Amino acid sequence: MPTRVFIEGTSTYVTHEVGGIHRVVRRIVEAMPTLHQEFGIESAPVVLRSGRLCDASSLIHRPRSTTPTPIAGLVRACGRTAEWLAARDAVPWRSTDLLLMLDATYGKGIWRAVRKAKECGVTVGVVVYDLIPINYPQFFPAKHPAKFREWLHGALEHADFLLGISRTTVHDVQDYILQATGHGLWSCNRIDSFGLGADFPRAERNAIVRDAVHAFFKDGPAPYLLVCTIEPRKNHSYLLDAFERIWKDSPNTKLCIVGKIGWRCDSVVARIRQHPQFGKSLMMFTNLRDAELQFCYRNAGAFIFPSIVEGFGLPIVEALGYGLTVLASNTRIHREVGREHCQYFELDDPTSLVTLIRKLERETLQDSPQTKPYRVVSWQESCRELLAKSFHMAGMVRSAGDDGERLPQPLKKAA
């Protein structure tokens, strides 16, 4: 059994990104120490520095900002000194270590560093969030699908086991391997899934919620809420089409869109900001802090998630955890995550969503109960499942030794 667990988090802790994957990395890293005694382990986050995976424990309490980290500044300013610092902090690998690739760190450098760890006998597990850039390349910037495919092939070459964040993702990975190689060489006991947590860290007692946020939620009826990055597959245009029908009859019905501005979204952002209802019954916030996001969840009337495709759909779980009525697009992953707790609408026609909204409007939003009580999975529970399944598969890998199943050669180079 591994005695030390290292969590790769380069994109999260070096770039200070705040997207969905980065939220998962932070929450798992924060939860891991609470399970040290239970699993008999030590843990630490690691980041890629000068070709090495280095201990990043000193970075996890740094405030999220665009300010470069001190080591990053040294790398740019004085390369040789920075390389010495990176070497000093490089992890001295042991054969009993487990390296979990939890982040989405692109580039060939990350896999060279992983290869060095494997040469020391380290067991490597890779978390796959989804295969959306491969299966739906039209939703991404031109070069991203190729970068993602290269990352995935690196994962398939170097990983001893994979963990998806949903059964849907596991099925997609298995299908991809089958199509790419003509046979599913990786058996199911080398690929598993774990669920994500949905509890927020406790908000600071005196956390400030900006006036604009407070006013939109507290003045008048409680808004419908959408939380996600603004990008094509999140389907904001569909949502606006539905609400424009609603506003014809009920102009005071409110919609709040929360999420950072992503890619290929200029037209939809312009449509929101130039909409006649913007600032009245329509609002968009693109830079909310955690405390403000929690305020939105606590004070929303209902939650809508019209996404076309997801790897998990974490905002659905978060909204259910706050006791909100959730309207979600009728997709396989949303059915897996939301189960009987959500109401589902079809994506081929906004009328399906309009019908659900009008039904809710005839009720009192805040009094519209979920079909069954929903129990929120904590990030500690998510981390516990991640560790338990990782240890199980790591044990299988070590028992198999050199005779264990390996990935087929055709996947070792990106197509």
More confident: 83 or 94: 94
164: helix, coil or strand?
Answer: strand
Per residue in 95-129, pLDDT (tens digit) is: 999 999 999 998 879 999 999 999 999 999 999 99
In a shared domain, residues 291 and 171: no
Mean pLDDT score of the chain, rounded to an integer?
87
Q: Regarding beta strands 42-49 and 52-55, do their DSSP bridges make them parallel or antiparallel, or are they unpaired? A: antiparallel
Residue 303 burial class via C-beta count within 10 angstroms: exposed 0-12, middle 13-18, buried 19 and up? buried
In a shared domain, residues 270 and 391: no
In a shared domain, residues 171 and 270: no
In a shared domain, residues 236 and 98: no
Tell whether the torsion through CA atoms of 228, 196, 1 and 30 is positive or negative. positive
Whether residue 279 lies inside any domain: the answer is yes
Whether residue 386 lies inside any domain: the answer is yes
Residue 163, both tokens: 């963990």
The DSSP secondary-structure symbol of 177 reads: H
Cα 178 from chain centre: 25
In a shared domain, residues 384 and 312: no
pTM confidence score: 0.85
Of 125-139, 177-191, 274-288, the one with minimum mean pLDDT is 177-191
**Residue range(s) defining the domain that contains residue 266:** 211-367
In a shared domain, residues 190 and 300: no
In a shared domain, residues 355 and 393: no
Confidence check: pLDDT of 8 > 80: yes
Residues 80-93 have a mean pLDDT of 61
Residue 204 burial class via C-beta count within 10 angstroms: exposed 0-12, middle 13-18, buried 19 and up? exposed
More confident: 345 or 199: 345
Cα 291 from chain centre: 19
In a shared domain, residues 129 and 57: yes
Residues 204-214 have a mean pLDDT of 83
Whether residue 372 lies inside any domain: the answer is no
The per-residue pLDDT for 178 is 85
The CA–CA distances, whole Å, from 339 to 73, 96, 163, 210, 333 equal 47, 39, 21, 35, 9
Whether residue 205 lies inside any domain: the answer is no
In a shared domain, residues 231 and 314: yes
More confident: 185 or 213: 213
In a shared domain, residues 253 and 356: yes
Confidence check: pLDDT of 33 > 70: yes
Whether residue 410 lies inside any domain: the answer is no
Confidence check: pLDDT of 192 > 90: yes
Residue-by-residue DSSP string for 312-372: S-HHHHHHHHTT-EEEEE--HHHHHHHGGGSEEE-SS-THHHHHHHHHHHTS-GGG---SS
The per-residue pLDDT for 66 is 36
Q: State the virtual CA torsion across 394, 397, 401, 404 in degrees, nearest 10.
A: -170
The per-residue pLDDT for 87 is 42
Percentage of residues in the chain having pLDDT higher than 70 = 83
Confidence check: pLDDT of 140 > 70: yes
Residues 195-215 have a mean pLDDT of 83
Count of residues making up the chain: 415
The per-residue pLDDT for 193 is 96
CATH number for the domain including 166? 3.40.50.2000
Whether residue 373 lies inside any domain: the answer is no
The per-residue pLDDT for 397 is 85
More confident: 90 or 403: 90
In a shared domain, residues 128 and 243: no
Cα 369 from chain centre: 27
Percentage of residues in the chain having pLDDT higher than 90 = 72
Confidence check: pLDDT of 63 > 60: no
> In this structure, which long-range contacts are made by residues 111-119, counting pairs with CB atoms below 8 Å and at least 24 apart in sequence?
111/154, 111/157, 111/158, 112/51, 113/48, 113/51, 113/52, 113/53, 114/53, 114/154, 114/158, 115/158, 116/52, 116/53, 117/53, 117/91, 117/93, 118/158
Residue 372, both tokens: 């069954």
pLDDT-derived band at 343, boundaries 50, 70, 90: very high
In a shared domain, residues 306 and 187: no
Confidence check: pLDDT of 70 > 80: no
Whether residue 36 lies inside any domain: the answer is yes
In the chain, the number of structural domains is 2
Alpha carbon distance 337, 74 (integer Å): 44
